[in-house]
Structure 1
Amino acid sequence: MTQTWEHLLFVHWAVSPSLLRGLIPNELEIDTYNGMAWLGIIPFLMSGVRLRRMPIVPFTSTFPEINVRTYVKAKQKSGVYFLSLDASNPLITAIAKQWYRLPYSHASMIFSRQGQTIDFESRRLDKNNASVQFAGKYEASGQPIAAAAGTIENWLTERYTLFCRCSRKNRLYYADVYHEPWVLQKATVQMRENTMTSSFSIPLAGNPDYAFYARGVQSYVWPITRLD
């Protein structure tokens, strides 16, 4: 699958690994930086979505998305484990849940751009989780950089594997992802609402520890493979 990710905000909070252990499959090791696990919330605009050798389907390939993720290791691979993904496109949501075993939810979203400022709102449409919301503005506030190896910026963003679980078969899978390295800028963020982790009983009070903006990359996602 080919996707383009645009106007991304990476906001991260350091949390105790013990807070996440019950949310992560036991077969996966929680990846840490300076002894802490990291919980990220990433709102962005998805565009150019198409399956390999298939044309873009009109009116379905561009839509907002927001995900909640942390970082894990297994089988000498380090990557991303998604706790939740919310998108405004119900068709793509259904495909991703079926093909990539990812925990997508359908949400009502607003993505608007005025100058350099992005205004992003998301409200989950599941009546049992309608309180899961995000609203805020963000924009780049620093010079573009390519994060050097070993830095927290590089560790949080340069991830080229996603891990997922098939609940029906109770099996773990992974998919490799390719894109050019991120070009990051420090971000200014004004959050009006953030309850994206309320269903996990992990409140994220206060400002994030790190906030970065990225203009975007084109990505290529390989099919999932059984981890074992």
Structure 2
Amino acid sequence: MYTDILRETDHRVSPFPHGPWMITQKWDHLLFMHLPVSPEDIRSHIPDQMELDTYDGEAWVSIIPFKISDMRMRMLPSFPYIKRFLELNVRTYVKRNGIPGIYFFSLDASKILPVLGARAGTLPYFFANMSMKRKGEWFHYQSKRHGSRDAAFKGKYRPSSEIFRPEKGTIDNWLLERYYLWTQVKNSVFSIGIHHRPWEVTDAEAVIEKQGLLPFLPPESTVSRMMLHYAYSRRVLFWPIKKVD
């Protein structure tokens, strides 16, 4: 299953995960909002077992709203309730033992069962009221986390260029082509390997009305220049979570 995806590996700069994949998801209509931040502002917010990754001396945080349209376990039929839901990720870029990857500050989802399952797997998921509507070229997206007055997002976005595949060595490629997720519980580090075809994206336009997902950063860190990408869709394969420390 998905052997065509598994065979396409030249774009990876990190080792391919061992063993069979466990879960697959289809991600649709993604907006990548990339914000450059000072390494000093963010270094204390990642675990000591991970090294903050930078590009030309700058650290980056990304906010990513999107839709999951097909989630299923390997070799099992999909379950209607958890097959489709919305998700909103906040992440930064790290290395561990020289391997580039992602560290998540938060992941909001619109259905409770995926949240509970992911939290059991050590990922910082939160349940939120979320909506996504397409009006013409624009995707209108809203999210408000349960139990939090400020952890919210509201905005709209659309693609604004021809589709391109970011070349290795560019900032676009550095931000997008990441294939390991790390998390920490107490003193233990856990890793999740993923794989998908290379990203094909466009530049994007966005109008952000509310963004309360980065309370740990100084306000000036979130109003500087921003890089935007839009991606139509990607099929993603996930490997089982592994304790690595």
The answer to whether TM tops 0.5 is yes
What is the deviation of 1:59? 2.7
TM-score, length basis structure 1: 0.94
1:126-205 correspondence runs (5 A) = 126=147, 129-167=148-186, 170-198=187-215, 200-203=216-219, 204-205=221-222
What is the deviation of 1:114? 2.1
Q: Secondary structure at the match of 1:56?
A: coil
Letter in 1 for 2:54: T
* Contact 1:11–1:208 under 8 Å retained in 2: no
Aligned partner of 2:239 among 194, 218, 222: 222
Aligned partner of 1:106 among 127, 132, 136: 127
How far does the alpha carbon of each residue in 1:194-215 deviate from its partner, in whole angstroms, 9 at most, with x for none?
Answer: 11112x2443543652001000
Letter in 2 for 1:123: K
Aligned partner of 1:8 among 30, 38, 63: 30
Aligned partner of 1:31 among 41, 53, 56: 53
Q: Which residue number in structure 2 is paired with residue 56 of structure 1?
A: 78
2:137 is equivalent to residue 120 of structure 1: no
Letter in 2 for 1:142: S
Structure 1 distance, partners of 2:86, 2:172, is 24
* Contact 2:134–2:140 under 8 Å retained in 1: yes
* Contact 1:9–1:213 under 8 Å retained in 2: yes
Structure 1 distance, partners of 2:50, 2:173, is 21
Letter in 2 for 1:121: Q
Query: What 5-or-longer segments of structure 1 have no aligned partner?
Result: none
Sort the Cα spacing of 1:47 and 1:202 in 2 relative to 1 into closer, same or farther, 3 A: farther
Structure 2 distance, partners of 1:208, 1:111, is 25
Matched residue count? 222
* Contact 2:42–2:217 under 8 Å retained in 1: no
TM-score, length basis structure 2: 0.87
CA RMSD of aligned residues (A): 1.3
Structure 1 distance, partners of 2:46, 2:152, is 22
How far does the alpha carbon of each residue in 1:155-203 deviate from its partner, in whole angstroms, 9 at most, with x for none?
Answer: 0000011001124xx30011110001110100010011111112x2443
* Contact 1:21–1:30 under 8 Å retained in 2: yes
Sort the Cα spacing of 1:202 and 1:3 in 2 relative to 1 into closer, same or farther, 3 A: farther
Structure 1 distance, partners of 2:139, 2:224, is 18
Aligned partner of 1:66 among 81, 84, 88: 88
Q: Secondary structure at the match of 2:116?
A: helix
How far does the alpha carbon of each residue in 1:118-140 deviate from its partner, in whole angstroms, 9 at most, with x for none?
Answer: 000000112xx221110000000
Structure 1 distance, partners of 2:62, 2:54, is 13
Structure 1 distance, partners of 2:68, 2:137, is 18
